């Protein structure tokens, strides 16, 4: 969950690395460092904290050179200290390495090196790599890295430079993303294209157990067995401006307000209103199997898991398919007996989530077919699955996912509708569903127009230390997602519950100092939700109700209300989650939290 950026070319490396690290800071912000080869030797600088701390230390230092590597860290082994920050080096300070991932057998390797006289200075697993690669280096840096790859266990994306190999960067990956960038002025490598999209849109994705050597003249990819690999460049579909704030104070707020566009991107070219049937070209390679499928398992983590939870309800509503939802981090430890023609649907914003990748690999061993819903073209999950659908939502920089969540909900609904229309769902219901899906961007915009009102509600309640979110059926996962958002960015303790479970324990917590966000649109669960709200009010619990426009009944009961436009029951989650996102954002803002970089969290979870 760290960020890597490398550059070799005609320009000065120092500033390119700093700019790249700023774009990657959402992936890790405990500490950062760079190393630059000036042709004779390697200079380096490391700092604890955000990239601005590193930038301040570099102020006034020339650090000239056209070859360099940079890293921003999210700590796994060792506290955030300057010693533990990357890059790490060998004892002679000739070889420098940066690393994302975890070396699982580092302890045994470290003990072996210590017996041979190596003195370790950090608490990290990465330092093992520096000493091992240095020992194998005989003038061929690629060969030394390849040799070490055969001895280490775990996941890694690494970049290495050596004083005695000027004009050369070697990168390697296993389970942690690395992508090469190709420009007229040099070559890049990074863990995320956002680090280099200001300089190039032409990229080449490295696959697992591959290495690449970058020079000023080009790059060469090979396997861990030294077999040469030829691969064409791909074009990134978004631009540098997509990673700018564009006048918003935080990326989270910007991305909340982008949701009308990202939902539109999720449905563009994918709807046939007259037939009531979506068009999803990405799943056509497996369509014949999918349309006769009777068992689907959705696997995901965090916010994507809650999107999958809503998806389960959508599939049950629109299809004849039995659907399970599983936490990817637990999936491979369970014993499954998949029925014939089972499909696994993997959800991941980055397409690199380690637990989700592990889950789909285990599912493949069990004979399941694999679908992916990811936002990053060419990502690991996109390559590991048999087919899938891209979000086309552009980069999501804020650590707390917002626009990808609603995009995932939209795409899951399209898949369910497509299958349903080839099963028993009638034309009239299909055309109605598509009409309502097409209306979602405008309806989300109507909710966003209430931002000032939602901000006022957040101001009223942001000092309360404990919150409860409740919902039923389609909106039960939204209650969990709403609680997660509040926890992530404001650090307020919050729990999401099925409203029907209130009497089975959580109601004991209700008191005048614990607000409840009740997600209660006018769907078939409405009357039951009203009863649950009444139970809370009778115990003097403050209630913020998310209601359908014009609901006078709940306006009289709840302390505060936030209205959403009317919709079909299975589409309400796309609307009801927006007030939850804004409540979380504004509470965090009033509490002066670091909203885009919440403590202890990172955007792309590439370690298990």
Q: Is 361 a catalytic residue?
A: no
497: left (phi over 0), alpha (psi -120 to 50) or beta: beta
Q: Which residue has the tokens 């969540």?
A: 405
Evaluate whether 67 touches 13 at the Cβ level (below 8 Å): yes
CA distance 352 to 305: 15
HSE-up of 371 (CA within 13 Å, CB side)?
A: 28
Residue 370 · residue 320 · CB < 8 Å:
no
Phi, psi (deg, nearest 5) at residue 350: -80, -25
Q: CA distances (Å), 9 to each of 186, 219, 230, 568, 571, in order?
A: 4, 12, 21, 55, 50
Q: Which residues pair with 299 in a beta bridge?
A: 326, 346
Q: Would you say 103 and 125 are in contact if contact means Cβ atoms under 8 Å apart?
A: yes
301 is catalytic: no
Rounded to 10 deg, the angle between the 427-438 and 440-448 helix axes is 40
Strand ranges across the sheet with 210-215: 88-89, 95-103, 154-162, 169-174, 210-215, 218-223, 228-229
The CB density around residue 168, as the number of other CB atoms within 10 Å, is 18
From 2, 301, 580, 587, the catalytic residue: 2
Strands (DSSP E) contained in 365-506 are: 369-374, 387-390, 466-471, 493-498
Sequence-distant (6+) residues with CB within 8 A of 570 are 313, 314, 317, 318, 413, 474
Q: What's the angle, vertex CA 600, arms to CA 124 and CA 50, rounded to 5?
A: 75
Among residues 201, 198, 167, 161, the alpha carbon closest in space to that of 181 is found at 201
- The dihedral of CA 38, 42, 46, 51: what is its sign? positive
Residue 420, classed as helix, strand or coil, is helix
**Residues in CB range of 261: below 8 A, 6 or more apart:** 441
Show Cβ contacts of residue 321 under 8 Å, excluding neighbours closer than 6 positions.
293, 294, 295, 296, 315, 419
Spell out a b/e string for 5-27, using b for 16 or more CB atoms within 10 Å of the CB, else e.
bbbbbeebbbebbbbbbbbbbbb
The three-state secondary structure class of 524 is coil
Helix axes 403-421, 572-590, angle to 10 degrees: 170
Beta pairing class for 322-327 and 295-300: parallel
Between CA 216 and CA 65 the distance in angstroms is 12
Instruction: State how far the Cα of 345 lies from the Cα of 569, in Å rounded to an integer.
Output: 23
DSSP structure class, residue 568: -
Q: What is the distance between the alpha carbons of residues 49 and 59, in angstroms, rounded to a whole number? A: 16
Residue 140's alpha-carbon distances to 57, 104, 166, 172, 511, in angstroms, are 33, 26, 12, 15, 68
Give all strands (DSSP E) within 472-542, no chain letters: 493-498, 516-520
Q: Which residues are catalytic?
A: 2, 603
């Amino acid at each position: 969950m760290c960020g890597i950026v490398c550059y070799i070319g005609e320009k000065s490396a120092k500033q390119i690395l700093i700019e790249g690290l700023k774009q990657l800071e959402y992936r890790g912000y405990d500490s950062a460092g760079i190393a630059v080869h000036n042709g004779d030797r390697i200079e380096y600088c490391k700092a604890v904290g955000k990239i601005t701390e590193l930038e301040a230390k570099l102020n006034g230092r020339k650090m000239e050179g056209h070859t360099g590597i940079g890293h921003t860290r999210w700590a796994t082994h060792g506290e955030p200290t300057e010693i533990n920050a990357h890059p790490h080096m060998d004892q002679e300070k000739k070889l420098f390495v940066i690393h994302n991932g975890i070396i699982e057998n580092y302890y045994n390797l470290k003990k072996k090196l210590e017996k041979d006289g190596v003195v370790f200075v950090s608490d990290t697993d990465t330092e093992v790599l520096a000493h091992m690669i240095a020992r194998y280096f005989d003038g061929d840096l690629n060969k030394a890295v390849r040799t070490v790859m055969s001895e280490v266990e775990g996941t890694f994306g690494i970049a290495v430079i050596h004083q005695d190999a000027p004009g050369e960067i070697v990168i390697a990956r296993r389970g942690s993303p690395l992508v090469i960038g190709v420009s007229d002025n040099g070559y890049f490598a990074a863990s995320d294209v956002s680090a280099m999209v200001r300089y190039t849109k032409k990229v080449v994705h490295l696959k697992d157990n591959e290495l690449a050597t970058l020079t000023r003249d080009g790059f060469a990819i090979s396997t861990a067995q030294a077999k040469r690999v030829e691969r064409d460049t791909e074009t990134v579909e978004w631009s540098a401006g997509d990673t700018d704030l564009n006048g918003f104070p935080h990326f989270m707020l910007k991305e909340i307000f982008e949701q009308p566009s990202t939902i539109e991107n999720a449905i563009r070219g994918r709807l046939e209103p007259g037939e009531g049937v979506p068009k999803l070209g990405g799943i056509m390679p497996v369509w014949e199997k999918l349309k006769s499928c009777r068992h689907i398992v959705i696997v995901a983590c965090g916010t994507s898991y809650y999107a999958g939870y809503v998806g389960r309800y959508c599939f049950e509503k629109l299809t004849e398919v039995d659907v399970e939802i599983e936490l990817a981090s637990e999936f491979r430890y369970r014993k499954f007996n998949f029925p014939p023609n089972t499909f696994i649907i993997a959800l991941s914003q980055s397409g690199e989530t380690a637990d989700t990748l592990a889950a789909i690999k285990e599912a493949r061993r069990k004979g399941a077919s694999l679908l992916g819903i990811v936002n990053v073209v060419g990502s690991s999950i996109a390559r590991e699955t048999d087919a899938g659908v891209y979000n086309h939502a552009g980069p999501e920089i804020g650590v707390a996912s917002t626009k990808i969540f609603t995009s995932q909900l939209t795409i899951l609904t399209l898949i369910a509708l497509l299958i349903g229309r080839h099963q028993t769902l009638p034309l009239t219901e299909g055309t109605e569903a598509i009409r309502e899906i097409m209306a979602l961007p405008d309806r989300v915009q109507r909710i966003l127009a209430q931002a000032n009102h939602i901000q006022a509600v957040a101001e009223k309640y942001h000092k309360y230390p404990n919150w409860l979110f409740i919902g039923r059926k389609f909106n039960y996962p939204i209650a969990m997602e709403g609680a997660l958002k509040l926890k992530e960015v404001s650090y307020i303790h919050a729990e999401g519950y099925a409203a029907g479970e209130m009497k089975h324990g959580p109601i004991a917590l209700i008191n005048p100092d614990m607000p409840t966000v009740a997600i209660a649109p006018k769907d078939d669960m409405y009357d039951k939700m009203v009863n649950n709200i009444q139970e809370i009010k009778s115990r003097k619990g403050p209630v913020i109700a998310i209601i359908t426009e014009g609901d006078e009944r709940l306006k009289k009961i709840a302390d505060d209300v936030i209205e959403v436009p009317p919709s079909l029951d299975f589409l309400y989650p796309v609307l009801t989650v927006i007030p939850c996102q804004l409540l979380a954002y504004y509470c965090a803002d009033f509490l002066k939290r670091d909203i885009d970089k919440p403590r202890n969290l990172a955007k792309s979870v590439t370690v298990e």
